[in-house]
């Protein structure tokens, strides 16, 4: 199939699109964020270290992230390709990835930053796993289990704006990096999940036809 990297600002919908693409193309969805959050929930030494970094709106050090990704891409289910979500985030990470599994497609989901702030800062979580948004769920309680909803520390507006600042400084240069390698495709992510999915799928289908 294809080795795919999804790019875009925090809150651009990379995780949502990756989950849909996983179902359509039967490719493993690899999210460094999911790996880190699992460690945070379990209270591992890595999780404690990562939580402190994420809560400040900063990026996890390259060497730690690269080692995790390299190990994951060596697994048998990645032989036909993968969907990377949240990695690489810096030029150093991208260069490291080129050394062991160069992407064939880098798809940038382009969204308005103020829309990102509203999208993330309005998100509320429940301990049962349900997720809500204040624009569609005004209650402070979970509709499924009745528990009180909470806002993740890295979803707070000041932290979101810091994440976007870090993205502009460290991650956005990846667009030029992958453009120079001829694998970059940019899609409009402002139109909602379905329209974005259609645009991303069009890029992948076009790539697979010419392979």
Concerning whether 152 is annotated as a catalytic residue, the answer is: yes
Could you tell me which residues are beta bridge partners of residue 186? 108
| From 3, 119, 124, 163, active-site residue | 163
The Cα–Cα gap between 103 and 98 comes to 7
Distance, CA of 82 to CA of 22 (rounded, Å): 9
What is the H or E stretch that residue 178 is in?
A: helix 173-179
Which residue among the candidates 14, 72, 119, 124 is catalytic per the annotation? Answer: 14
Does the annotation count 24 as an active-site position? no
Catalytic-residue membership of 14: yes
Catalytic residue among 3, 119, 123, 124: 123
User: Could you say which of 152, 156, 161, 181 is catalytic?
Assistant: 152
163 given a catalytic annotation: yes
56 is an active site residue: no
Peptide bond into 29 cis (omega under 30): no
Q: Give the whole-angstrom CA distance, residue 93 versus residue 80.
A: 22
Cβ contacts of 145 within 8 Å, gap of 6 or more? 126, 127, 128, 130
d(CA 170, CA 65): 15
Both structure tokens of 144: 């499924």
CB-CB neighbours of 162 under 10 Å: 15
Q: Which residues are catalytic?
A: 14, 89, 123, 152, 163
């Amino acid at each position: 199939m294809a080795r795919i990297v999804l790019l875009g600002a925090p809150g651009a919908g990379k995780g949502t699109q990756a989950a849909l693409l996983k179902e359509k193309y039967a490719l493993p969805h690899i999210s460094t964020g999911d790996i880190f959050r699992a460690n945070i929930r379990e209270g591992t030494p890595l999780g404690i270290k990562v939580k402190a970094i994420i809560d400040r709106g900063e990026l996890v050090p390259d060497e730690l992230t690269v080692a995790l990704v390299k190990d994951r891409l060596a697994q048998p289910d990645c032989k036909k390709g993968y969907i990377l979500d949240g990695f690489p985030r810096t030029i150093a990470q991208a260069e490291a990835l080129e050394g062991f599994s160069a992407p064939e497609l880098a798809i940038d989901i382009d969204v308005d930053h103020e829309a990102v702030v509203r999208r993330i800062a309005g998100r509320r979580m429940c301990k049962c796993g349900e997720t809500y948004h204040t624009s569609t769920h005004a209650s402070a309680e979970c509709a499924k289990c009745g528990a009180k909803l909470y806002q993740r520390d890295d979803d707070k507006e000041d932290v979101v704006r810091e994440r976007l600042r870090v993205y502009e400084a460290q991650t956005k240069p990846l667009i030029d990096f992958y453009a120079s390698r001829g694998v970059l495709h940019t899609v409009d992510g402002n139109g909602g999940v379905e329209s974005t999915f259609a645009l991303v799928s069009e890029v992948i289908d076009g790539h697979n036809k010419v392979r």
